[in-house]
Amino acid sequence: MMRRYMYFIAVGLIGVTSSCSKFLEESTQSEVVPRSAESLNEYMMGDAYPNDFALHPEEPFLNDDIQMIAYKQNELMYPAYTWQPDMPEKIGGLVTVSSWRSCYAAIQACNTTLDYLPKMMGEQRFKDYVGGQAYLLRAFYYFNLVNLYGMPYNDPQTDPHKNLAVPLLISGGVESDYKSRNTVAEVYAQIETDLKEGIRLIEGSGQVYSKYRMGSEAGHLLASRIYLYMDKWNEVIQHTENLMAGGYKLMDLRNWGEVKPLEKPVISINNPETIWAFGTIGDVIVADSLVYRMSSELMSSYEDGDLRKGIYWSNGITRKLSTADIGAAPAQSFRLSEVYLNRAEAFAQLYKQGNVAAGQKCLDLLNALREKRLKEDKYVPWTLQTVGNDLLRHIHEERRREFYSEGGRWFDLRRYGMPKITHLSFSSASQAQKFVLQERDPSYVWPIPLRVIGLNPKIVQNPLAEIRQPQ
């Protein structure tokens, strides 16, 4: 529809629209009329939720959790794996462009929902529930976009109020003007606003919803993640408080029983840890398991008796999700284990500032998680005497072990200071080359696809690294 074409011109991409769902009746080429709040809620599941597109499928190939183990001619992800500055064009525009395109398409669905909602028939409580989802999802997409195309918020050497991120569009109406990039701080401010409003509306609605819907608990978890990235430790603790006392509980791998990923995957609404289940297999390394596996460094970091070896992964391949019916089962989730680790990291930072009591609170959280992950005869609690000066390193490593293949490692590396990474890439069946991503390398911020810049002259490209050659 013309209104959506104009929207995508504004952000620099044309010709991509979300589908016209049943709730919309096309009156003219530029006008759509919603039927009901119930149908609008259904429309959101089809157009606003990340259930039929990958958020950032190249992310796993960029980080240090992966290594190439075999040669494959014309390997699609080679430009991502070697951090090439022309990654969007090298991949052919099929993958990297979609991270920009698909997030903005979903944002448009959220904006359209919020624009139409006041005019809809239906109980106000249900309308608040629908609107709350739209706010939370919009925050979620902007969180992903700002951490792909902008500098880390907490980077000590730059200013988030000056660093460019992505254009903010918060209306579903026609956008005929070109939009320039907002700053990292401006995008985070909008995310905070959306999270607060989304949580308020859903909590006030009293609606019961499934784990396939982004509810107020998922909003609190996302908020804790946002504030972790902003170095706002007290806010992290605040947003995880209720989740710790809620109806979720850590899964006990000691009682997991027989490992059957197709029947009992870790990423599932049946997992007692799951707060929100979503996503597609495109964000998880499965299809390329003959070429890429978990890095040997990460494999060796698991303690003796860690039950995640075998349940979470085997032979370097994830076993967290069911691949029996690709597209039908969720591939990602918000889980209670992240609540524990986000909260532990916030307490560790307060401990670092001199709050001794926070150090013990941090360790209590870490040990509670580790106790559910290690064999009973192998579990030894950590103490302040043994890890006190290294709390943050232990948390970062535990986070890496817990969330392998679930996405987010790239974002973590950025907020940890953008460290140096080395990848070995096979140029033939018998020869490997070494590629290096230097500390604070420009490629830690993704290049904006040239097609986007070509359509919107106000979009300024990020600083680019040179074409990366093997060392």
CA distances from 184 to 164, 230, 281 (A): 6, 11, 29
Q: What confidence score (pLDDT) does residue 327 get? A: 61
Pair 155, 264 in one domain: no
Range of the domain at 350: 240-282+316-403
Same domain, 95 and 40: yes
User: How many whole angstroms from its chain centre is CA 158?
Assistant: 23
Residue 302 lies in a domain: no
The pLDDT tens digits of the residues spanning 280-289 come to: 887 776 545 7
Percent of the chain with pLDDT over 90: 74
Total domain count for the chain? 2
Q: How far apart are CA 460 and CA 267, in angstroms?
A: 38
Assess whether 247 and 356 both reside in one domain: yes
Q: 332: which residues sit within 8 A by CB, 6+ positions away? A: 267, 277, 278, 279, 283, 284, 406, 407
pLDDT digits (tens, 9 = 90+) for 153-185: 999 999 999 999 999 999 876 666 889 999 999
What average pLDDT does the chain have?
A: 90
To which residue do tokens 């809809």 refer?
120
Identify the CATH number of the domain in which residue 165 sits: 1.25.40.390
148 belongs to a structural domain:
yes
Give the C-alpha separation, 188 to 151, whole Å.
12
Interatomic CA distance for residues 442 and 465, integer angstroms:
6
- Regarding whether 94 and 9 lie in a shared domain, the answer is yes
Q: Do residue 394 and residue 424 come from a single domain?
A: no
263 in the same domain as 183: no
Q: Are 295 and 65 in contact (CB under 8 A)?
A: yes
**Looking at the structure, do residues 383 and 260 belong to the same domain, yes or no?**
yes
Give the residue-averaged pLDDT of 239-267: 93
Residue 294 maps to a domain: no
Name the residue type at position 410. Answer: W
**Residue 99 and residue 16 share a domain:** yes
* % of the chain exceeding 70 in pLDDT: 90
47 in a structural domain: yes
Per-residue pLDDT tens for 409-418? 999 999 999 9
Do 254 and 201 reside in the same domain of the chain?
no
Rounded Cα distance between 256 and 30, Å, is 54
- Residues 67 and 104 both lie in one domain: yes
- Do residues 384 and 426 share a domain? no
| Residues 436 and 337 placed together within one structural domain of the fold | no
